[in-house]
Amino acid sequence: MKYKLRASFPLILTAVLLTLSSCIGLSLDIQMNKDGSGRVTAEYRLSRMIENLGKLDGNESKPSLPVGRTDWERTIDRNPGLKLVSFSSKDETKDTVYKVVIDFKEEKALVQFLDPSLKRAAIKKQGQSASLDILLLDELPSYDDDMMDLIAVLSGNYNFSVSFSAPSNSSLMLNDVNGNPLTSLQNAKIVSSGKKVSFSAGIMDILELKNGMKIIFNW
């Protein structure tokens, strides 16, 4: 069973955030400066159960997520427009929580960080206005109730959240892959306009979007 996560990170969660093996939560904050530079703060929590299973099957030397500072340094080295400001991790009862702060020198570096292929994230400019488009999720095939119940158990209470701020007021739009506004996210928390805009929803709520999801930040 394959879910296609479109966008996010060069290493983290491109293949695992929205899959059956993902006991993972992610929050992402993007701060944009007037000159196109800025800062990305990402915090993601990984189930310690999943980490331990990885060690038991002998794959601890090949993590599917960047779980150490060295992993992130390798990512940053591929993009000269990025700088690793800080990295930290801490163990909680059920999860290990990782936090990374990265500065970007220009908008291109941000887009390449979000999507190195440059196909699923883009910044568009028109006059004094600009937008950041992120295609988060493609259209999903239908699965039976038993499979969706299993996904619901594995995803638990993990959330995906993203926020964005710029020098001027910003706005946030949520569309499906066809450009239609999303209206089915009943449990999502959304701040659609203001100095900082944000979106937060449960992993299961996102998986139930049959027509995919695109996040658009305007400023």
**pLDDT tens-digit map of 182-218:** 987 878 999 999 999 999 988 778 877 888 889 999 9
Q: Say if 12 falls within a structural domain.
A: no
In a domain, 16, yes or no: no
pLDDT of residue 33: 97
Query: What sign does the dihedral 54-43-152-134 (CA atoms) show?
Result: negative
| DSSP codes joined into one string, the chain | ----B-SS-SSTTTTTTTSTT--EEEEEEEEE-TTS-EEEEEEEEEEHHHHHHHHHTT-TTS-SS--SHHHHHHHHHT-TTEEEEEEEEEE-SSEEEEEEEEEESSHHHHHHHH-TTSSSEEEEEETTEEEEEEEEE-------HHHHHHHHHHHTT-EEEEEEEEEEEEEEEEE-TTSPBP---TT-EEE-EEEEEEEEEEHHHHHT-TT-EEEEEE-
192 within 8 A of 172, measured Cβ to Cβ: yes
Instruction: Tell me whether residue 46 is in a domain.
Output: yes
Low-confidence ranges of the chain (pLDDT < 70): 1-24, 48-67, 139-156
| Both structure tokens of 195 | 């100095």
Copy the structure tokens of residue 87: 């990295």
Chain length of the chain: 219
Per the structure, the complete domain to which residue 185 belongs is given by 24-218
Q: Are 39 and 104 in contact (CB under 8 A)?
A: yes
C-alpha–C-alpha distance, residues 54 and 64, integer Å: 9
Average pLDDT, the chain: 78
Residue 57 CA neighbour count, 13 Å, CB half: 8
Number of structural domains, the chain? 1
Question: Is 118 domain-assigned?
Answer: yes
In a domain, 9, yes or no: no
Residue 119 maps to a domain: yes
Q: Which residues contact 12 (CB under 8 A, 6 or more apart)?
A: 26, 42, 44, 65, 66
Residue 114 lies in a domain: yes
Q: Are 34 and 168 in contact (CB under 8 A)?
A: no
- Contact indicator for 36, 106 with CB cutoff of 8 Å: yes
pLDDT at 36: 94
Residue 13 placed within a domain: no
